[in-house]
Amino acid sequence: MGVLEKVTEPSHLRALSEQELTDLAREIRDFLVAKVSRTGGHLGPNLGIVELTLALHRVFDSPYDRILFDVGHQAYVHKILTGRQAGFDVLRQRGGLSGYPSRAESEHDLIENSHASTSLSYADGLAKAYLLRGEDRHVVAVIGDGALTGGMAWEALNNIASVKDRPLIIVVNDNGRSYTPTVGGIADHLNALRTDPRYERVLDLVKRSLSRAPLVGSPLYDVLHGIKRGLKDVMAPQGLFEDLGLKYVGPIDGHDRPQIEQALDQAKGFGGPVIVHCVTRKGNGYEIAEQDEADCFHSPSGAFDPLTGTPVAAPALKWTNVFRDELVEIGRQRSDVVAITAAMRHPTGLDAFADEFPDRFFDVGIAEQHAVTSAAGLALGGLHPVVAIYSTFLNRAFDQMLMDVALHRCAGTYVLDRAGVTGEDGPSHNGMWDLSILQVVPGLRIAAPRDGARLRELLREAVAVQDGPTVLRFPKGAVPADLPAVERQDGVDVLVREGEHDVLLVCVGAMAQTGVDVAARLTEQGIGVTVVDPRWVKPVNPVLLDLARTHRLVVSVEDSGRVGGCGAALGVALADAGITVPLQVKGIEQRFLDHDSRAALLAELGLGAQDLARDIVERVARIDDAPLVTGDHDPLPRS
């Protein structure tokens, strides 16, 4: 029986010997590689935080003491130690564990967001609440160096440092990466420490100081702050935090569990806000991950061979791949096109552009707000920025899109990867909000390609727009086979025209193939159908209004929210034009979706071809035989 099998709750860790704890760390890494190699998920970040998580749960009493993980990429070890080992067999699948902390899973999980740089604000409020309620509970925020590039983290630090007697421990898990190497001035400070030749001597000094210190308080922190001013020149980040008035402990070897425990014990007893700086290695203990230059096996998307790291299934052509290649071609033809990412060079497909045009590529760190307004500045300076961001993360920069970009009519293209239902990554990663949020932005144009050919086509159309911003959105996963149009009417692609003008099916982007499948079912029922792909979904193309006038029923289908989405905008346009044809809006109800595959979630939402066809047939059956609108067509046949 291994040590891991004996641990079903954090309290069990305190009874283990040093040798058992060493064995446990090895077993946890073996467990992670074995499980994630079958399901996919976040591997590299969790391999790098094993000893740190063990130390946290040995020093603090979770869930009474609260441990908050920023982003949650590195929470798998925490899940293992809090009794959720069995759920890893179906990680990120229906009925299995979420890929992030989840309140529904465990009392040990208080927050479950997967958007970065938020943990310090949660911790600040939580510590205030416990202090006001007279509860002697510790709050620990675990934040990566990548998340520290987000402005929200520094807003929180500014407030945390203002009250000296509020107990709050901030553990900086510094592995030099978010997805890829962390960039920016903060990263430079931390990197200066890691790469300084005196670094190992600093680690040794801290370790010896911790082990000798019998008391907690200011004398200890004078030592740990670098033997007054002399060591401060070596420890660049210390000065950074000290200037805010925060006590600093570190740097700590993040894979030396006893040393981490000593540091956390001292911080726990200080009585005020303390930074504990742990230097870790992403992918630690799994050579394949350690040597992966792209992202240290940050998040393998599917099953892989644990011995070689190669995917089990042949990799499919992804939407991101098509965007990557086309942008490089555009960059070769237009020297004014520049690219921006928020710490996601590889995941958003900007790596090839960055390699070929390094002077025209900007990684701003986990700072979507800054990315968008910086893009506005680039546009004002005469360039055309292409900003590639996950759809879910653009939510954070809505004000910038509205007031900094659109108000100034700044040309630029905002490429939203992983739009619509993303599935396995859970509620905070579904890109189901963008069409609803962005509909209210004046002057913004939104394109939604249905296949790879349209992605390339619409990307070129988008970067050609010079009088305002454009958005291009596409989903996660494999790009489908190209779906040709039977004709194009002033920018709107007609995909199917069968029978009488009974039903007009308006399908947004990736839902186009579903619309074609629905049309086949409707024609079998004797119902005439026209399927169109608007391509540009904002503003509403007048062609759609003309088509609606000649049909008995209009149905819009989108993998985004029903409230305020494309269907809702179409409804307003129809009403404004005095067109009274019935409209059905098919989209996602405004709720947070559980983790599951995209296909399963769309089926659950009634957005599969079979359910859509059934609903349309039933609606057709309820329409009176007499025409509801003027048009050259026969009465609608009954089904």
- Which residues are part of the catalytic machinery? 282, 368, 396
What the block records as the tokens of 353 is: 């552009």
Q: How many whole angstroms separate alpha carbon 29 and alpha carbon 247? A: 32
What the block records as the tokens of 126 is: 């939580």
Compute the CA torsion angle 433, 434, 438, 439 (nearest 10 deg). Answer: -70
Q: How many whole angstroms separate alpha carbon 584 and alpha carbon 590? A: 16
What the block records as the tokens of 42 is: 């976040």
Q: How far is CA 49 from CA 175, 220, 348, in A?
A: 9, 26, 25
Q: How many whole angstroms separate alpha carbon 242 and alpha carbon 231? A: 13
Sheet of 247-253, strands arranged across: 66-69, 139-144, 168-174, 273-279, 247-253
At 452 the three-state DSSP class reads helix
If 0-12 CB within 10 Å is exposed, 13-18 middle and 19+ buried, where does residue 588 land?
buried
Q: How many whole angstroms separate alpha carbon 184 and alpha carbon 589? A: 39
Peptide bond just before 63 cis, omega within 30 deg: yes
For 212, half-sphere exposure in the C-beta direction (CA atoms, 13 angstrom radius) is: 11
Residues in the chain: 639
What would the DSSP string read from start to end of 282-296? Answer: TTTT-HHHHT-TTTS
Compute the CA torsion angle 548, 551, 554, 556 (nearest 10 deg). Answer: -70
What the block records as the tokens of 92 is: 């990120």
For 26, half-sphere exposure in the C-beta direction (CA atoms, 13 angstrom radius) is: 8
Measured from the Cβ of residue 245, the count of other Cβ atoms closer than 10 Å reads 15
**What does residue 83 show for φ and ψ, rounded to 5 degrees?**
85, 25
State the alpha helices, DSSP H only, in 228-308.
236-242, 257-268, 287-290
Q: Which residues of 102-246 form beta strands (DSSP E)?
A: 139-144, 168-174
Say how far residue 386 (Cα) sits from the centre of its chain: 19
Q: Which amino acid is at 189?
A: H
Measured from the Cβ of residue 101, the count of other Cβ atoms closer than 10 Å reads 22
CB 48 within 8 A of CB 281: yes
Give the bridge partners for 304, in sequence order: 311
Tell me which residue has tokens 């998920």.
41
Share of the chain residues as helix, strand and coil, in percent rounded to the nearest 5: 40, 15, 40
Q: How many whole angstroms separate alpha carbon 124 and alpha carbon 121? A: 5
With CA atoms as reference, report the closest residue to 151 among 478, 348, 502, 400. Answer: 400
CB 114 within 8 A of CB 429: yes
